[in-house]
Amino acid sequence: MTEHNTVIAGDITQPDILHCPPDIPIAHAAKLMRDKRTSSILVKENETIIGIWTESDCTKLNYDDPTLFQRQIHDFMSTPVISIPVSTPFADIIRAFHRHKVRHLVVLNENGSTKGVISQSDVIKRQGIQHYLQLRTVGESYDQQLATVDALASLTETAKLMKREKQSAVLVKNKDEDASGIITERDLLKVLASDEYEQPLWHYASKPLITIESSQALLSAYLKLQRYRIRHLAVTSPQGDVIGLLSMQNILADIEHSYFQRLEALISERDHALHASQEHLFLAEKIIESSVDAIMTTDRNGVIISVNPAFTQVTGYKAREAIGKNANLLNSGIHDKSFYRKMWKQIDTEGKWQGEVWNRRKNGDVYPEWLTIVKIGGDTVRDIHYTGIFSDITERKLYENRIKSLAFYDDLTKLPNRRLFNDRLNIAISTAHRNQQLAAILFVDLDRFKQINDTLGHSIGDEVLRSAAKRISSSIKEGDTVARFGGDEFVILLTEMSSVEDIESVISRIYQQFNKPFVLDNKENYVTCSIGASIYPFHGTEPEALLKYADIAMYQTKKDGRNGYLFYQQDMHASLDDKLVMQNKLRTALKNNEFKLAYQPQICSTTGKFIGVEALLRWELPNTGMVSPAKFIPICEELGIIVDIERWVLSQACRQRKAWLQQGLDVGRIAVNVSPIHFKNNLMNSVLAALEHADLSPVLLEIEVTESCFIENTRDAQIVLEQLKKLGVEIALDDFGTGYSSLSYLTKLAINTLKIDGSFIRKTPTNEADCQMVKTIINMAQSLSLNIIAEGVETDAQNAFLTDNGCTQHQGYFYSKPIFEDEFTSQYEAIMNDAKAKELTE
């Protein structure tokens, strides 16, 4: 049937059509038709078809009229003639037959001239009908309305009967001879063509009767008709009586009926599908057109075949400049061959690749983009296409770099800060381990710096710090690190040291630098420093321990009278085994009910109302008091007991939230912190268990994660976060700004909220660098449509600064310290009263 989707009228037209002028005698037309063996003739006047006369019209004639044979065809033809253009699709040809109830259609060329005629049989002949005819019997299709005439009847009588009974043939009975014959439309045409019509009917009848039994397959009848080149068979009962006639017309009607039904159904289905796919195509085109991401499609060889307007915006190439060129037109030359090899390998095996790529614009600029390449597979290799979707991430990179520089460098001295130092320390230790070398940490603290600050003022103090930073930096070799940890505290990381003497020579260089005077307020001043040092691997192998030991050694130097240096020694430190003791106590803390939760409100600064509450873990040791979570949580992580502890935290927090709900306290979500270890170990189970146990709705829970949860394995993290999101649990990214701060994952992961780390809030609004940092984070969160909340808000000024800059969710001592459950209700009421008062005054 699919073949018909492409067949048009021109393909099945019978070309050698018969035509005649309107004024020729009907007998003449009949002769032409008989000779040509066609069933129709077109009537033409001045090259225009004005009518059609067909075999079936023979039944309309009055054969008693002596002038009949001379009458012009014009008087009997059918008008108007139904015509269709050559390009008419197959389905529409069938519709035309149906609609106009005709057996012939005239086909017109594009210029209006006549190409030919299509009869219904031409349409049916397109079909493979053999199989169908085999399944049908004569009995199902023949015409049961058997019209019979006597052998002596007149032609006119017979024609009238045929017309009245709508029959194309009648049975003729010759009683005298006890025989039957048949008269058909075609026989009437023969009469007209023969010029003599005065014989009795029997003379014109076809005889003897050719019969077929009603139980026979329609196919046998069809073959018989073909064989005898006739159009009618007499149908007999099993007993041999003639019970009706079967014409080619009946067979066609039978086929037509079922065929049309089937075809109509198929055509309407196809039309529907076509319409839908056109609509989809239209939509897809619109989406591609209006996409803000650049979209480019190439063939399997990388030749560009289409681009959208955003492509031109990003790359500078117009569509006509890009289409036909290879996509490597955009290569920046920054990535090596192995980069592309790896990329294409993944596309071919997984069908997709995503990542950051540096490309080149038409004007030569190199820019970073976030690129997704999708392989669009076809049935054959030739059908394979690739689509590249990319966006310019220059701006995002700028944000990222800005945040990194603010997050990793000290603004006053431009030295690395503690975070960057820690990073480098970790790397240095593993390198030293591999190369069997020494590494050293020097803690350098300026002597009596507070005095300088107090007597000469802060700006002179800052000047001293800047100058000290330069002097220390000039004393070390390239590749080593000087960081400022805050105040007047500098920390140096020395790598590739082979002996203690090497380290001492750096120390002596630092002292030489400090021997030169500092010019302050136009006066020469001398500033000294105290140094403490620890050495990997002599004093320890862990970064924190080494830092602590260098710090202890520096204090010892100060105690010993300053302006000197000491290497760490064990006896400087009384309670080295602190950690061991703590470890032992922590193992039993959960069982001994030593953990408690404190709750800290999160408030909307414009309404004063609750947005949420953060649950913070507390460890209360008998006889010792509270231990800070910053201290004990890393140990729990090390011991592998953090998951159990946090499961307790989760259920406790959910239960508490449910209790407040029942008391009618509207405190928003309860936020719970999770460690990266828990995050990667079935967090979803813990969350589900806690929610179920407390019978709490997931929308009242928020999970606080840190960047370390997903730096190593973004894909797994993505799955966990998606599951939580599906459940309705919200995700906040804690301590934002202190970590890796790659913004590409922010758009990929299901994160709702960024929490700006308290360390950035502390010095707002006085410290310009921190203000910039906070503003940058707020802008970025807004551009990524993320919620933003500030931690550690302590003062009215900070509250105002943040609110003015678009961050209205605050958590900090300004509103409330973390409090235990017993104080919570009264704190809640106080906060809500303030909110009400605020509402009234505004």
Residue 711 C-beta: closest distance to Mg ion, Å: 17
Using CB under 6 A, pick the residue from 51, 158, 791, 801 that binds ligand C2E.
791
* Cα separation, 256 vs 245, whole angstroms: 18
Using CB under 6 A, pick the residue from 26, 193, 428, 649 that binds ligand C2E.
649
**Cα 547 from chain centre:** 48
Residue 672 C-beta: closest distance to Mg ion, Å: 9
- Who contacts 482 (Cβ-Cβ below 8 Å, separation ≥6)? 415, 416, 469, 472, 473, 476, 490, 491, 492, 493
Number of Cβ atoms within 10 Å of the Cβ of 372:
15
Stretch that binds ligand C2E, among 231-239, 629-637, 657-665, 800-808 (CB under 6 A): 629-637
* Cα separation, 133 vs 129, whole angstroms: 6
User: Cβ closer to Mg ion: 138 or 613?
Assistant: 613
Using CB under 6 A, pick the residue from 27, 616, 756, 780 that binds ligand C2E.
616
Helix (H) or strand (E) holding 796: helix 796-804
Residue 616 C-beta: closest distance to Mg ion, Å: 7
> 694: burial class by Cβ within 10 Å (0-12, 13-18, 19+)?
buried
Q: Which amino acid is at 212?
A: I
Using CB under 5 A, pick the residue from 488, 551, 646, 734 that binds Mg ion.
734
Using CB under 6 A, pick the residue from 400, 410, 734, 770 that binds ligand C2E.
734
| Partner from Mg ion, ligand C2E, none binding residue 441, C-beta < 5-8 Å depending on class | none
- Helix/strand/coil percentages in the chain, nearest 5: 45, 25, 30
Count CA atoms within 13 Å of residue 697 on its CB side.
Answer: 7
| Partner from Mg ion, ligand C2E, none binding residue 840, C-beta < 5-8 Å depending on class | none
Q: Does 735 bind Mg ion (CB under 5 A)?
A: yes
Using CB under 6 A, pick the residue from 51, 608, 737, 812 that binds ligand C2E.
812
Q: Does 683 bind ligand C2E (CB under 6 A)?
A: no
User: Cβ closer to ligand C2E: 206 or 799?
Assistant: 799
User: Cβ closer to Mg ion: 359 or 686?
Assistant: 686
What are residue 617's phi and psi, to 5 degrees? -75, 140
Burial 160-193 (b: 16+ CB within 10 A, else e): bbbeeeebbbbbbbbeeeeebbbbbbbbbbbbbb
Using CB under 6 A, pick the residue from 28, 71, 818, 832 that binds ligand C2E.
818
Helix (H) or strand (E) holding 625: strand 625-627
**Packing angle, helices 642-663 and 821-841, rounded to 10:** 50
Burial 220-240 (b: 16+ CB within 10 A, else e): bbbebbeeeebbbbbbbeeee
Residue 664 C-beta: closest distance to ligand C2E, Å: 26
Stretch that binds ligand C2E, among 36-44, 505-513, 624-632, 721-729 (CB under 6 A): 624-632
Stretch that binds Mg ion, among 110-118, 357-365, 702-710, 804-812 (CB under 5 A): 702-710
Could you tell me if 87 and 55 are in contact, meaning their C-beta atoms sit under 8 angstroms apart?
no
Residue 736 C-beta: closest distance to Mg ion, Å: 8
Which tokens go with 343? Answer: 């990329």
| Partner from Mg ion, ligand C2E, none binding residue 84, C-beta < 5-8 Å depending on class | none
| Dihedral (Cα; 334, 336, 341, 347), 10-degree rounding | -20
Stretch that binds ligand C2E, among 26-34, 386-394, 509-517, 626-634 (CB under 6 A): 626-634
Q: Does 703 bind ligand C2E (CB under 6 A)?
A: no
User: Cβ closer to Mg ion: 704 or 770?
Assistant: 704
> 575: burial class by Cβ within 10 Å (0-12, 13-18, 19+)?
exposed
- How many residues at the interface with ligand C2E, by CB under 6 A? 24
User: Cβ closer to ligand C2E: 314 or 696?
Assistant: 696
Question: 146 by DSSP, 3-state: which?
Answer: coil
Say which residue the tokens 């035309």 belong to.
96
Q: Does 646 bind ligand C2E (CB under 6 A)?
A: yes
User: Cβ closer to Mg ion: 117 or 671?
Assistant: 671
| Partner from Mg ion, ligand C2E, none binding residue 256, C-beta < 5-8 Å depending on class | none
* Cα separation, 660 vs 456, whole angstroms: 55
Q: Does 235 bind ligand C2E (CB under 6 A)?
A: no
Which tokens go with 241? Answer: 């009586």
- How many residues at the interface with Mg ion, by CB under 5 A? 5
The region, left, alpha or beta by phi > 0 then psi within -120 to 50, assigned to residue 792 is left
**Angle made by CA atoms 137, 139, 145, in degrees to the nearest 5:** 145
Which tokens go with 782? Answer: 């807004």
Stretch that binds ligand C2E, among 34-42, 510-518, 519-527, 668-676 (CB under 6 A): 668-676
Q: Does 738 bind ligand C2E (CB under 6 A)?
A: no
Stretch that binds ligand C2E, among 99-107, 213-221, 791-799, 823-831 (CB under 6 A): 791-799
Q: Does 617 bind ligand C2E (CB under 6 A)?
A: yes
Is the bond leading into 601 cis (omega within 30 degrees of zero)?
Answer: no
Stretch that binds ligand C2E, among 114-122, 184-192, 722-730, 787-795 (CB under 6 A): 787-795
What are residue 821's phi and psi, to 5 degrees? -55, -40
User: Cβ closer to ligand C2E: 675 or 808?
Assistant: 675
- Who contacts 66 (Cβ-Cβ below 8 Å, separation ≥6)? none
Q: Does 600 bind ligand C2E (CB under 6 A)?
A: yes
Reference 667, options 841, 824, 839; nearest CA is: 824
Q: Does 792 bind ligand C2E (CB under 6 A)?
A: yes
Q: Does 605 bind ligand C2E (CB under 6 A)?
A: no
Q: Does 813 bind ligand C2E (CB under 6 A)?
A: yes
Residue window 779-818: x/- pattern of binding to Mg ion, with contact defined by CB under 5 A: ------------x---------------------------
Residue window 653-682: x/- pattern of binding to Mg ion, with contact defined by CB under 5 A: --------------------x---------
| Partner from ligand C2E, Mg ion, none binding residue 821, C-beta < 5-8 Å depending on class | none
Q: Does 447 bind ligand C2E (CB under 6 A)?
A: no
Chain residues 682-701 in contact with Mg ion, contact rule CB under 5 A: none
Q: Does 488 bind Mg ion (CB under 5 A)?
A: no
Q: Does 628 bind ligand C2E (CB under 6 A)?
A: yes
Chain residues 747-766 in contact with ligand C2E, contact rule CB under 6 A: 758
| Partner from ligand C2E, Mg ion, none binding residue 675, C-beta < 5-8 Å depending on class | ligand C2E
Say which residue the tokens 């509270």 belong to.
626
How does DSSP assign 176-236, residue by residue? TTTEEEEEEHHHHHHHHHHS---S-HHHHSB-SPPEEETTSBHHHHHHHHHHHT-SEEEEE
- Who contacts 490 (Cβ-Cβ below 8 Å, separation ≥6)? 415, 443, 444, 445, 468, 469, 472, 482, 483, 484
Question: 702 by DSSP, 3-state: which?
Answer: strand
Q: Does 696 bind ligand C2E (CB under 6 A)?
A: no
**Cα 435 from chain centre:** 48
Residue 633 C-beta: closest distance to ligand C2E, Å: 5
Which tokens go with 606? Answer: 């414009």
Residue 680 C-beta: closest distance to ligand C2E, Å: 13
Residue window 558-597: x/- pattern of binding to ligand C2E, with contact defined by CB under 6 A: ----------------------------------------
Binding site for ligand C2E (CB under 6 A): 600, 616-617, 628-630, 633, 646, 649, 673-675, 704, 734-735, 758, 791-794, 811-813, 818
Binding site for Mg ion (CB under 5 A): 673, 704, 734-735, 791
